[in-house]
């Protein structure tokens, strides 16, 4: 349920009028394909670092806006660049694994305890990876720009927004309440007071519940009325279907792996091929491999944590860094399974194979940076 809210709340906030108008304003000032690719990559990276659901939607919306204004920009690379920001999400503020282990009563608290984000998201190795990718990936994506006849453009007519349909206002208390800014102000103030109290009494402490609260409160405020917020939420919920039905299967996979003894076998194998320095690198690669079969950060953690935490115990490795290695592996190989980019591709009649070449090069480039971070920090 927490993962559903992460995606839905980020989606709702990204579709608020404030962000839509802001993206359109920025896109209208971009004049060249080079600036278009660099800007959409950077914006997507920053947005995905803040919240992966928010970043995915912002990236797609921004790419569509840019395609309306900029001529001779390759739409395939534009969408791949917007999607490439997703590689950074698990090292950011809404990373499901670091926030999960920072939450009281998480499933593996008896092994590793409650791990604050200062030991995961705000460590030197994680900040190194995030900062290097943030400032080099936009330039790398620009380097991949096609030229001449290889450029694939999209008809701007296909990028027109669907007209928002809201119920006709009626002279009833319920209808007036749904369109009332006072209710939004009241709910928003309650949320802001709670968040101010939380951070003033506990410091900068983040977990899944606090991150979700921030995005829900901001979504309520930026949509202006309860009616618009709920309409956006209704659309956002449609994007969470995969999460709702994937997680029960992940729980089953975890149960089979642990009960059959397979988890113990994998754990022993990692201990045999690793030392305390290379363990995190191998864990990162393993995380990337498992993500192909369990494409969800929280679901992958449920499956892989029992294996890798046992191995970490045996080898004397740090639990928090082990968790982050799995997290980065999960985010990394999302580049070669771009499911979240499919809606934006469909607008232009493109398929996943049309951006897969770009995504593969992004995978290789970011994989080198992430490997350096875990091997030398």
Residue pair 59/49 in contact (Cβ under 8 Å)? The answer is: no
Averaged pLDDT score across all residues of the chain: 86
Helices (H), the chain: 2-14, 17-28, 33-50, 52-69, 75-84, 96-101, 109-112, 124-143, 173-178, 181-202, 208-223, 226-238, 241-260, 262-273, 279-293, 297-315, 319-332, 342-347, 352-376
What percent of the chain is modeled with pLDDT above 90? 40
The CA distance from 375 to 278, in Å, is 7
Structural domain boundaries in the chain: 2-156+238-376, 176-237
- Tens-digit pLDDT string for the chain (377 aa): 777 887 788 888 888 888 888 888 998 899 999 999 999 999 999 999 988 878 887 888 888 889 888 888 999 999 999 999 999 999 998 888 998 899 888 889 999 999 999 999 999 999 999 999 999 999 999 999 998 888 888 776 666 665 666 667 778 888 888 888 899 999 999 999 999 999 999 887 777 788 889 989 999 999 989 989 998 888 888 877 767 877 787 778 767 876 887 767 776 777 788 888 899 999 999 888 878 776 677 777 877 888 889 889 988 899 999 999 999 998 999 898 766 676 667 666 678 888 999 999 999 999 999 999 999 98
What is the DSSP code string of 53-98?
A: HHHHHHHHHHHHHHHHH-TT--HHHHHHHHHHGGGGGGGSTT-HHH
Q: ∠264-266-272 over CA atoms, to 5°?
A: 105
pLDDT for position 205: 73
Residue pair 220/17 in contact (Cβ under 8 Å)? The answer is: no
The CA distance from 126 to 24, in Å, is 32
The 10s digit of each residue's pLDDT in 236-258 is: 888 777 678 777 877 787 678 76
Burial class (CB in 10 A: 0-12, 13-18, 19+), 318: middle
pLDDT for position 196: 93
Structure tokens at 370: 């992430």
C-alpha distances (whole Å) from 331 to each of 86, 180, 252, 266, 355 are 7, 40, 22, 21, 17
The model's pTM is 0.81
The 10s digit of each residue's pLDDT in 138-153 is: 999 999 999 888 888 8
Please state the length of the chain.
377
pLDDT for position 310: 87
The CA distance from 342 to 79, in Å, is 9
Residue pair 124/377 in contact (Cβ under 8 Å)? The answer is: yes
User: Is residue 172 helix, strand or coil?
Assistant: coil
Question: In the chain, how long is the greatest CA-to-CA distance?
Answer: 73
pLDDT for position 159: 67
């Amino acid at each position: 349920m927490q993962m559903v809210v992460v995606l839905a709340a980020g989606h709702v906030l990204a579709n608020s009028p404030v962000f839509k108008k802001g993206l359109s304003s920025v896109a209208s000032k971009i004049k060249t394909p080079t600036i278009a690719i660099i800007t959409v990559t950077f914006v997507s990276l920053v947005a995905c670092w803040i919240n992966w659901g928010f970043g995915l939607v912002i990236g797609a919306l921004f790419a569509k806006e840019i395609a309306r204004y900029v001529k001779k920009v390759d739409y395939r690379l534009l969408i791949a660049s917007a999607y490439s920001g997703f590689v950074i999400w698990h090292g950011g503020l809404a990373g499901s694994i670091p926030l999960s282990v920072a939450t009281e009563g998480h499933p593996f608290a008896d092994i590793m305890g409650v791990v604050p984000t200062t030991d995961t998201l705000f460590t030197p190795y994680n900040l190194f990876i995030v900062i290097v990718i943030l400032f080099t990936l936009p330039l790398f994506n620009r380097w991949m720009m096609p030229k001449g006849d290889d450029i694939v453009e999209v008809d701007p007519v296909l990028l027109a927004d669907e007209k928002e349909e809201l119920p006709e206002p009626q002279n009833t208390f319920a209808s007036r309440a749904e369109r009332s800014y006072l209710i939004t102000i009241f709910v928003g103030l309650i949320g802001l007071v709670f968040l101010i109290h939380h951070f003033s009494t506990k410091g900068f402490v983040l977990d899944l519940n606090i991150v979700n609260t921030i995005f829900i409160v901001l979504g309520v405020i930026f949509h202006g009325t309860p009616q618009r917020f709920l309409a956006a939420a209704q659309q956002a919920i449609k994007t969470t279907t995969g999460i709702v039905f994937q997680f029960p299967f992940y729980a089953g996979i975890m149960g089979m792996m642990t009960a059959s003894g397979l988890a113990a076998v994998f754990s022993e194998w990692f201990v045999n091929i690793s030392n305390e320095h290379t363990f995190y690198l191998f864990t990162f690669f393993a995380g990337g491999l498992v993500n192909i079969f369990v494409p969800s950060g929280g679901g992958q953690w449920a499956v892989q944590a029992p294996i890798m935490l046992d191995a970490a115990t045996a080898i004397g490795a740090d639990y928090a860094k082990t968790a982050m290695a799995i997290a980065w592996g999960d985010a990394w190989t999302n580049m070669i399974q771009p499911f979240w980019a499919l809606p934006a591709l469909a607008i232009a009649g493109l398929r996943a194979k049309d951006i897969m070449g770009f995504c593969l090069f992004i995978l290789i480039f970011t994989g080198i940076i992430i490997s350096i971070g875990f091997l030398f920090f």
